[in-house]
């Protein structure tokens, strides 16, 4: 399944590609300006959690943008993709108007193209490695927008192609967690002919794609279509099942499962351990977003309550912080504020998310850090005591270290505070599987590039290994694990079949 | 979807529900709990397990009508289905043979106490159980408790059954009478707080099982934060049982009311 250089070169030499390459001169391609994706009006979109911000590209926009791609001999963009999408091949299919084929190319290596087209940080991955950026110092081809276009076109066309799967080999494998990592793994294993079952603790499939990322960035319906595609490939899903609690790994082995992929995520929110943090009204971004995204608490019809407030403070500078503060805005906050201890430059959130948050009227209090929460007589937070910070020398992360400024403390009024300062690995699997080597941070130790844990039949990837990263890196781990588990299982159980 | 195979109204407010859940029935241990959701717009709520039948593949839950979600669950009848049921969750009770154990339950807290009483008895302990209720009608599981306890003391607020008085009065009588090696308390937060204060005075190791607000029940949301020995713990994955003498009960009680006005809004909407 891995793309050899030769394969990529041969694909590039196909007649239709050569024709396209000749059809338009490089100079003319370079003369086209990068497409701008249109957005919903900020004042309109903040009225609902379920209005998607980005509109996607029109056919005309997509074809024109696809023309910008130079179909490079050496497509460096692919080096930047954790799931090795054949980027020029899908883009050139868009250029020649074969949108369905473009979508099929995406699905060769990605289980979730419509998701990745929306939430991947392309600007630091494929797009950063684009010829335009590397050689011309110009804006890259809008690979992410084109990816979304192809995936959306296929979904909306109603003609969804199911990727080809090898003949069933009858070997059962279990996936623990139905987030992006587990889904990516499941897709690859199904293609290889394995009998794949995904176990999910929650009542919905999708993990962080459902409970974490808000619908204004990633509609649940989009995620469901991709999950349905996996179903059609033969992947089975079991909800409300916590491996290690509902049944142990040993129980599953008795059921015939030969190997396991743990993609249980970083579902344990971190707090700052500052005075007053357990007051009512202070909650983790996980709780806040889960109530709204998974449980639909923004709707009056939902039985799940959510806290609303005139003044909402969100602590943190990552994508989850942006998701939370923009959710607060949509829940009616007059003042939705980001409080972040470094400056905007160091924010880990995507530039696009920060930009969208600002458009929506979110206030940014940077170089500011909460040091204490003050509650009212009923135990509900009413004020956040913060301290101004200044930047010192770079720390281990390479970002300049924030240093508190003595005497700079002041208070901000807020009745809802969302803490989005990161997550730790979920302890359920590490605690329940004997012999599984775990780091001091609680992440599962794996052999790098193989994703194999200290127990040979247990592989792991995504945030349970990384401790908090992105959807696409989690997906990349899933693919790596699938390839290596395939080798492991073939050696162990299918060697005779292979010889035949 | 899990089928309700049996339902019994214990009182106007308290209902016993037996639900098909073969894997949970097999895996659950004393101290574990489950998360239940009723309806596609339903909330995820934590509930305790009062018992399980491995052969029949069922678990028993005793539910008190409180908010919208528990009302909806209690409105279901035998033959209906709960939309989602997941578990067993939380760490099981650490049961050893320690000698004499005092088990104290109040209200529907008696339900999760039952498997623990059974467990302590099976492990070879002498088990003295104190059950407390506002009145005779609200007392639950008396017969079952008698079956697994060496002695059962019943306390009611109004004296309509057993002795008149609070659970702590029944406890103190026992403590003064004989040596207690361990105590466990499950019930309303305020009751557990006073049980804990009492046993602290007598230096009896005591565990309390907490019923914090939760969403996922797997460590993900942190709604169930509780301060134990000055440190923040998650009831769902670190508990639900903690050293009672180290729990900040006042904070815990305040946190139970964290969504009070929002829950009231939901209730008003539900009743409309």
Distance CA B19, CA B5 (A): 6
The residue among A199, A205, A245 with the most chain B CBs within 10 A of its CB, best to mutate, is: A245
On whether any CB of chain A is under 8 Å from the CB of B269, the answer is yes
Quickly state the pLDDT bin for A497 (edges 50, 70, 90).
low
Chain B nearest CA to A305, separation (Å): 6
Distance CA A235, CA A186 (A): 7
B236 is known to lie in a ligand binding site: yes
Q: How far is CA A416 from the centre of its chain?
A: 26
Coil, strand or helix: which one is A380? strand
pLDDT above 90: percentage of residues in chain A: 87
Backbone φ and ψ for A93, nearest 5 degrees, come out as -65, -35
Non-local (6+) Cβ contacts of A331 within 8 A are A49, A292, A298, A306, A308
Average pLDDT over residues A290-318: 96
Q: Are the CB atoms for A242 and A194 separated by under 8 Å?
A: no
The residue among B49, B67, B222 with the most chain A CBs within 10 A of its CB, best to mutate, is: B222
Mean pLDDT check: name the lowest of A107-111, A377-381, B88-92, B100-104: A107-111
pLDDT(B271) > 90: no
pLDDT digits (tens, 9 = 90+) for B149-176: 999 999 999 999 999 999 999 999 999 9
B63 is known to lie in a ligand binding site: yes
Which among B84, B85, B255 is the nearest to A278, CB-wise?
B255
Distance CA A471, CA A323 (A): 15
Cα dihedral sign, A333-A334-A340-A342: positive
Q: Are the CB atoms for A291 and A458 separated by under 8 Å?
A: no
Whether the pTM exceeds 0.90: the reply is yes
pLDDT(B123) > 50: yes
pLDDT above 70: percentage of residues in chain A: 98
pLDDT(A488) > 60: yes
Quickly state the pLDDT bin for B37 (edges 50, 70, 90).
very high
Structure tokens at B229: 């020995």
Chain B nearest CA to A289, separation (Å): 9
Distance CA A296, CA A305 (A): 9
Quickly state the pLDDT bin for A3 (edges 50, 70, 90).
low
Quickly state the pLDDT bin for A500 (edges 50, 70, 90).
very low
Distance CA B128, CA A285 (A): 44
Rg of chain B in Å (alpha carbons): 18
Residues of chain A positioned with their CB less than 8 A from the CB of B27: 245-248
Half-sphere exposure of A8 (CA within 13 A, CB side): 20
Structure tokens at A145: 């927008």
State the pLDDT at residue A130: 96
Determine whether the interchain pair B255/A280 forms a contact, defined as Cβ–Cβ distance below 8 Å.
Answer: yes
Determine whether the interchain pair B222/A284 forms a contact, defined as Cβ–Cβ distance below 8 Å.
Answer: yes
Which among B44, B220, B232 is the nearest to A271, CB-wise?
B232
B74 is known to lie in a ligand binding site: no
pLDDT(A499) > 60: no
Non-local (6+) Cβ contacts of A220 within 8 A are A206, A210, A293
Structure tokens at B203: 């230096």
Structure tokens at B234: 């998650």
pLDDT digits (tens, 9 = 90+) for B48-100: 999 999 999 999 999 999 889 999 999 999 999 999 999 999 999 999 999 99
Distance CA A212, CA A292 (A): 9
On whether any CB of chain A is under 8 Å from the CB of B88, the answer is yes
CATH numbers and ranges of domains, chain B: 2-89 (2.40.30.10), 100-257 (3.40.50.80)
**Does this complex have an ipTM over 0.85?**
yes
Average pLDDT over residues A391-405: 89
Non-local (6+) Cβ contacts of B43 within 8 A are A295, A302, A303, A304, A305, B37, B68, B69
A139, A142, A474 from A128: Cα distances, Å: 9, 10, 19
Q: How far is CA B112 from the centre of its chain?
A: 4
């Amino acid at each position: 399944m891995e793309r050899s250089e030769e394969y990529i070169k041969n694909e590039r030499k196909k007649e239709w590609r050569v024709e396209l390459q000749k059809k338009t001169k490089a100079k003319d391609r370079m003369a086209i300006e990068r497409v701008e994706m249109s957005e919903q009006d900020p004042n309109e979109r903040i009225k609902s959690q379920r209005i998607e911000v980005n509109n996607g590209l029109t056919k005309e926009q997509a074809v024109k943008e696809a023309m910008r791609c130079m179909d490079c001999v050496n497509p460096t963009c692919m080096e930047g993709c954790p799931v090795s999408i054949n980027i020029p091949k899908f883009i050139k299919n868009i250029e020649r108007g074969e949108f369905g084929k473009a979508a099929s190319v995406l699905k060769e290596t990605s289980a979730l193209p419509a998701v990745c087209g929306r939430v991947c940080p392309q600007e630091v991955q494929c797009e950063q490695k684009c010829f335009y950026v590397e050689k011309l110092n110009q804006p890259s081809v809008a690979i992410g927008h084109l990816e979304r276009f192809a995936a959306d076109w296929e979904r909306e066309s109603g003609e969804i192609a199911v990727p080809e799967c090898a003949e069933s080999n009858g070997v059962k494998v279990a996936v623990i967690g139905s987030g992006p990592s587990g889904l990516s793994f499941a897709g690859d294993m199904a293609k290889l002919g394995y009998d794949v079952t995904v176990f999910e603790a929650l009542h919905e499939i999708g993990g962080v794609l459902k409970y974490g990322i808000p619908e204004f960035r990633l509609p649940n319906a989009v995620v469901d279509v991709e999950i349905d595609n996996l179903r059609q490939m033969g992947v089975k899903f079991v909800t409300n099942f916590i491996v290690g609690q509902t049944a142990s790994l040993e129980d599953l082995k008795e059921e015939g499962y030969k190997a396991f992929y743990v993609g249980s995520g970083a579902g344990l929110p971190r707090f700052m351990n500052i005075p007053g943090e357990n007051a009512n009204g202070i909650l983790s971004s996980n709780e806040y977003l889960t109530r709204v995204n998974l449980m639909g608490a923004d709707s009056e019809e939902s039985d799940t309550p959510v806290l609303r407030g005139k003044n909402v403070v969100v602590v943190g500078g990552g994508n989850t912080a942006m998701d939370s503060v923009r959710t607060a805005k949509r829940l009616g906050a007059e003042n939705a504020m980001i409080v972040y201890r470094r400056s905007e430059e160091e924010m880990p959130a995507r530039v696009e998310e920060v930009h969208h948050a600002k458009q929506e009227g979110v206030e940014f209090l940077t170089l500011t850090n909460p040091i204490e929460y003050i509650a009212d007589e009923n135990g509900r937070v009413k004020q956040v005591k913060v301290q101004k910070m200044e930047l010192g020398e770079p720390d281990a992360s390479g970002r300049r270290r924030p240093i508190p400024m003595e005497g700079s403390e002041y208070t901000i009024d807020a009745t809802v505070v969302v803490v989005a300062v990161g997550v730790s690995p979920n302890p359920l699997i590490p605690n329940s599987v004997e012999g599984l080597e775990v780091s001091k941070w609680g992440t599962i130790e794996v052999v790098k590039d193989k994703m194999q844990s200290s127990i040979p039949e247990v592989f792991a990837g995504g945030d349970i290994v990384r401790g908090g990263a992105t959807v696409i890196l989690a997906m990349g781990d899933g693919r790596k694990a699938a390839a290596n588990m395939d080798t492991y299982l073939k050696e162990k159980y299918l060697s005779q079949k292979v010889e035949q | 979807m899990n089928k309700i195979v049996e339902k019994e109204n214990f009182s106007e407010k308290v209902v016993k529900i037996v639900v098909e859940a073969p894997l949970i029935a097999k895996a659950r241990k004393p101290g574990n709990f489950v998360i239940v959701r009723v309806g596609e717009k339903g909330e995820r709520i934590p509930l305790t397990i009062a018992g399980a039948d491995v052969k029949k593949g069922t678990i028993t839950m005793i539910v008190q009508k409180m908010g919208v979600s528990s009302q909806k669950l209690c409105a279901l009848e035998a033959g209906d289905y709960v939309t989602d049921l997941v578990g067993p969750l939380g760490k099981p009770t650490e049961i050893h043979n320690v000698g004499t154990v005092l088990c104290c339950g109040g209200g529907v807290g008696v339900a999760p106490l039952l498997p623990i009483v059974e467990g302590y008895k099976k492990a070879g302990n002498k088990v003295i159980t104190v059950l407390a209720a506002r009145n005779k009608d609200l007392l639950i599981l008396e017969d079952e408790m008698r079956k697994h306890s060496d002695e059962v003391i019943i306390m009611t607020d109004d004296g309509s059954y057993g002795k008149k008085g609070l659970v702590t009065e029944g406890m103190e009588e026992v403590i003064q009478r004989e040596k207690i090696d361990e105590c466990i308390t499950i019930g309303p937060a305020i009751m557990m707080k006073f049980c804990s204060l009492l046993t602290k005075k007598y230096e009896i190791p005591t565990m309390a099982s907490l019923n914090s607000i939760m969403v996922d029940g797997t460590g993900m949301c942190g709604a169930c934060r509780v301060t134990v020995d000055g440190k923040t713990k998650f009831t769902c994955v670190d508990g639900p049982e903690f050293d009672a003498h180290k729990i900040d009960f006042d904070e815990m009680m305040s946190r139970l009311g964290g969504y009070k006005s929002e829950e009231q809004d939901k209730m008003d909407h539900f009743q409309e």
